[in-house]
Structures are given as structure tokens and as C-alpha cells.
Amino acid sequence: MKKKKVNLRDLDPKEHQGEHSHDDGHNHSSAAEVSNFKTYLPAIFSFLMLITGIAIDYFDTFPFFRGWVRIIWYTVAYIPVGFPVIKEGWNSIRNGDFFTEFFLMSIATLGAFAIGEYPEGVAVMLFYAVGELFQNAAVNRAKGNIKALLDARPDEALVYRNGDFVSVNPETVEIGERIQVRVGEKIPLDGILLSEKASLNTAAITGESKPDTIAKSEKIYAGSINLDGVIEVKTNKEFKDSSIARILDMVQNATARKSKTELFIRKFARIYTPIVVFLAIGLTFLPYFFVDDYVFRDWLYRALIFLVISCPCALVISIPLGYFGGLGAASRNGILFKGASFLDAITKVNTVVMDKTGTVTKGVFKIKEVVNKSAFAEAEFMQYLMAMEEQSTHPIAKAILEYKADGADFEATEVSEVAGKGLKGTVNGKQVLVGNKALMVSNGIEVPSETDTIVESIVMVAIDKKFAGYVTIADELKEDAHQAIKQIREAGISKIIMLSGDKDSITQKVSKELNIDWAKGGLLPEDKLTEVEELKKKPDTTVAFMGDGINDAPVLAASNVGIAMGGLGSDVAIETADVIIQTDQPSKIATAVKIGRSTRKIVWQNIGLAFGVKIIVLILGAGGLATMWEAVFADVGVALLAIFNAVRLQKMKWG
């Protein structure tokens, strides 16, 4: 599937209001405040006009405030808040969409004017406008994390060209160029650190506030802020493919992937609204045939109340806002959902399947034990081993080479690889074998029986046809691995399984240490896929798979919810997984489940609130027991309550 490329400068202009270049001299916050005040002006004007008109009506102190003067007064109060809605309704009708909330509001308020209920007509439209303003404020708050990403967008890059560092647009920097980043500046592009070390604030892209220390030759991501000293970076991606661009693209696009609840409500509103319009028409005219003292004005008033009450604003506004709030809250916690549908899906997960290496372990091998059975000192024994491993690119070789041995380095010659067994060669005139037990046995070397019970990866050494010793290599558990399993169980996940490509003995040991229900090692990616497919066939089983997002791509795609650990630098993770854990912490899985459940709970609270209140007031309105003021509460009041409820997601904590 071809990835959509994103230019951060082409995003929704609403996100950039009040944004200028660094040297334009404008006060950004003041401009935003002025813009916000102008947004509220129509509602403030209408409110003052309405309150003044009601006061004059109530006290009846101005005799002239009758007839056309009163009509003009309330019309002037109505226009600032009513005209935009009527215009929107008209545009919808021109596009073939008759039955919208704008159409309902327009008919109800113009009808109120037609029967002389001017204050009610203004009030309905005023409170609807206020509801829209609150909705926009809530959405802007929910978009705070996306705005933080936009703020993290680098504006310039100091690139080395023609013997000097020059400031250029990051979009013009090519892969392989050298850039310089000063203290307090943002990393403009993804790359490899050329300096010895760097201290970075990665909060904008990982959600982690604590500084991150990066060593030379390690990856570095765009959007991070350099905290200490001038550093240099060699770029390895174009600006449009940088981590910040991909994350922003994913968060922006997440709102397009609707949940089933959201899609149902939208479809429901399209059927529900025309039904309401025809019921209102029926409520106006049908009583003529059944009621003796039928008064057209009274039944029209009831129908108008019916229209206002039945407007689906609370549902149409608050449900997407609830999901958007959940997506934003997850992003703030270093978790990226690819869509609202996955916020729903993760709440149904009852089986978590996890990879081992890179998921609950760091994926970095380290020497656990050195057992020297030779006549040499340990440092000299390790020099023989290291001289041979310098010829290998295997991750285990890298771990061995981190050993600090005193004395001059030995040099290996005539090194050859024995497929599937190890290396043989000459070091300081001695014949050296480095590898597994099979290599030793095939060369007639007797191996101590104690090695048979060792679970960890083992590298054996023979010098001049004699067994010299061995080194055990182990991967380290992540700091929060134990906490992750505990929290996943506390979140109500009934079954935790580990599937790993590492040898089964190591997988079983890690599984036992973490108290995992069932584990299997020695699996190829296709074997993991088969296991997950079998699990999915079991009744009432919803599977989430968490892996490193690289070699586990097929399983991530096949599971009900695919979760990529540390997927920030992995294109495969971004493409395949449904959820990305940016901080590389398995304990975030439980947080993701809790956020999904909180979001779903709030969405259903809003649905229950909207339907419950509306049904009660609809019955009262049809019976003539509710006025337009109750209708306003049932519509706009419920919408506001639902919005405030959805905004709670922004303040919740998920430990």
C-alpha cells in the first residue's frame, strides 16, 4: 500500500491561525485573543439585545416597544446568530441535503417569529450558536496534542554546504547531508547522531517529558529539542518522511477512521431527521381532525418545540468529539491510535499475544557470564574470543566486543565461517574455534556437561584443540516488563501469550519470570501468524498482538488489534499496526485499553443523556406541557452537557 506523503505546511489553515515567521514582530497570543473575541461578538450582541428586549417586555416601561419596533428589535437580535445557520441550511439544500440540523433550527426559529414568539426564536438560535462556540473550543482543546506537533515542526535547518553551515528550509535538505543543531533548537530531520552524545527533549513525539540521552551513531528524530551543547546529525530521511511528519499524518487521518458507533449515529441522524420533520407536520395538522377546540397557532407552536427538541446536535457533536478526545488523550500518553474504530476495538480485547525480543526485552544482548577454563587469564581468554568476533556482524558478536579487556588487541587471520555453527581461524599463531556445541563436537572437542543446562545463548571457545571456556549472552528485560504484565491483567485481559523467534528454552524462561500464561519459542514469522489465526478461531476471542513492527508485520496485520512497540522509527509499524506505542514501553498497552474504555464509556453516557432527555421533553412538548425554553434546554443544554462530558477525557489520568 502506498503511503500518503504529508507536507506539514499544507495542513488545515485553522491550525495555523495567528502563526507567523520568527522575525515578523507580531504578538501571536494577542492576535489569537483578538480573533477569539471577534468570534464571540455576534453571540454577545444577540445576548445583550435579547436580555434588553425581555426586560422591556417584562416591565412594560416603554410604550413605543410594540408592533414593528418590537419585531425589528428581535430581528436585529436574531440576524447575527441566525443568518449563518440559515445560510448553512440553504447551502445544504442546494447540495441536495434537505434534512440537516441547520434546516431544523431555521424552520423552528422562523416559525416562532411567524407566530409572534420572538424572544423564543432568538433564544433558540442564540443558544445554538453558543453551543457551537463551546463545541469549537472543546475541539480545539482536544487538538492540543496535534497543535503541539505543529509547534514542534522545525522551521529551518543549518546544513553544511560549501565549507560552512547555512540556514535553509528543511524541505530542501537531502539524505546524507550534515546538519548542525544548537542548544534549544529543534532537530529538523531524522538522522544519525555524529556527535559523541546528545540530551534531547522528545516530549512532542513520544509524550515523555524526561530528557533522553542519545549516544553517537544512534538514531535521532525530527521534532526533538536539543538540550545540551551543539550537535551534528547526518540526515537519513527527507523532511516529508521524517518521524514528526508521519506521526502528524497518522493523528490527522485518525479522525477519518470512524468507529461503528459514530457511523451508526450519522446514518441514524439521516433517517431520524426527516421522520422528525414529517411528525412535526403531522403534529400541526392532524389534531384538526380529532380535537374539537383546534387552534392552529397552538399546535404549530407545539410542532416547533418538537423540531427544536428533536434536533440531533447533541449526538452529532458530542460523539465524534468524545472519540477525538480519546485520540488526543492517547497521543498525550505516547500512544497513537490510527482511528476511532481501534479505540473501540481495543476495549473488546481479551487475549494479548506478545513477541519477546524488542517487546518485553530491550533487544540488546549483553554478556551475562564469562567462564574461563583455559590456562590464560580471563582478559587474555577474552582477547582470543574478541579477535574472532571482530570478523562477525552478528548481534551476539557486538555484545562480546563491548567487553573491556586490558592489554594489546589480538588479531585474527584465516577466519572462515562454518554455516550454522560458528567461526574458525588463527589468533597469535593458535588455532581458535568460536561457536556452538555442534562446532566443538564436529572438531572433536569435548564439551563439559554443565553447558547442557544453560538456557541463555552460549558462545564456546576452543584454543589449539582444547576447550577453553564459554560466554553466556542474554537479552535484558525492559524496566517496566513486570509492571506491564501486572497492569494488563488488572485491565481485565484474561489471557497473555508469548510467541518468539528466539529458542524455546529462553522464551520459556522469560515467560515464567513474567508470569505469562503460555509461551512458545523457535517460531518463524509465518509460524506466529498461524498461531494467532488459530487463536482467533476460538469463540469469544479478540486478539491483540504486540511486536516490534518489523519482522512481525504479518501478525500485526492479521490480529484484531495490532500494536507496534517502539514503532517511531519503523515504516513497517506505521503502515501495518493499528496502535503505535511511541515510548517503547509495554506497560502502555494497559493504558491504551483504559483510554479506549474511558472513551467508550463517555460516548455511551452522551448517547443515553441525549436520548433520555429528548424523549421526556418530546412527550411533554407534544402534550403542550413544555415551552420553547424547555426545548432549548433539551437541545442546546444537552449538547453542552455532552460536550463538557467529552472534554473530561482531556483531564483524566490513566496510571
- Residues serving a catalytic function are 355
Judged by DSSP in three states, 184 sits in: coil
Compute CA distances 286 → 291, 310, 622, whole Å. Answer: 9, 19, 12
d(CA 354, CA 377): 42
d(CA 628, CA 395): 74
Residue type, 206: T
Helix (H, G, I), strand (E, B) or coil at 224: coil
Q: Residue 587 to residues 69, 220, 566, 590, 625: CA-CA distances in angstroms?
A: 67, 23, 12, 6, 54
Q: Using CA atoms, how far apart are residues 310 and 500, in angstroms rounded to an integer?
A: 55
Phi/psi of residue 421, nearest 5 degrees:
-125, -40
Calpha distance 235→146 (Å, rounded): 24
Are 635 and 318 in contact by the 8 Å Cβ rule? The answer is no
Question: What's the one-letter identity of residue 631?
Answer: A
DSSP 415-470: EEEETTTEEEEEETTEEEEEE-HHHHHHTT----GGGGG--SEEEEEEETTEEEEE
Beta-bridged to residue 122, according to DSSP, are none
Q: Which three cell numbers stand for residue 35?
A: 480573533
The 335-337 sheet, strands edge to edge: 335-337, 579-581, 561-565, 543-547, 351-354, 495-499, 518-520
End-to-end CA distance of the chain: 36
Alpha carbon distance 645, 284 (integer Å): 35
235: nearest Cα among 291, 159, 297 = 159
Question: From CA 464, how far away is CA 425, in angstroms rounded?
Answer: 11
Question: Residue 527 and residue 547: Cα distance in Å, rounded?
Answer: 14
Q: Are 200 and 214 in contact (CB under 8 A)?
A: yes
Percent of residues in the chain assigned helix, strand, coil, to nearest 5? 55, 15, 30
How far is residue 429's CA from residue 622's CA, in Å, rounded to a whole number? 103
Q: Is residue 360 a contact partner of residue 514, using CB atoms and an 8 Å limit? A: yes
What is the H or E stretch that residue 414 is in?
Answer: strand 412-418
Please say whether the beta carbons of 543 and 532 come within 8 A: yes
Sheet holding 412-418, edge to edge: 361-372, 466-477, 457-463, 430-435, 422-427, 412-418
Total Cβ atoms within 10 A of residue 324: 22
Task: Provide φ and ψ at 466, rounded to 5°.
Answer: -120, 140
By C-alpha distance, which of 323, 221, 256, 236 is closest to 566?
221
Beta-carbon contacts of residue 199 (< 8 Å; ≥ 6 apart):
211, 212, 213, 214, 226, 227, 228, 229
DSSP 3-state assignment of 93?
helix
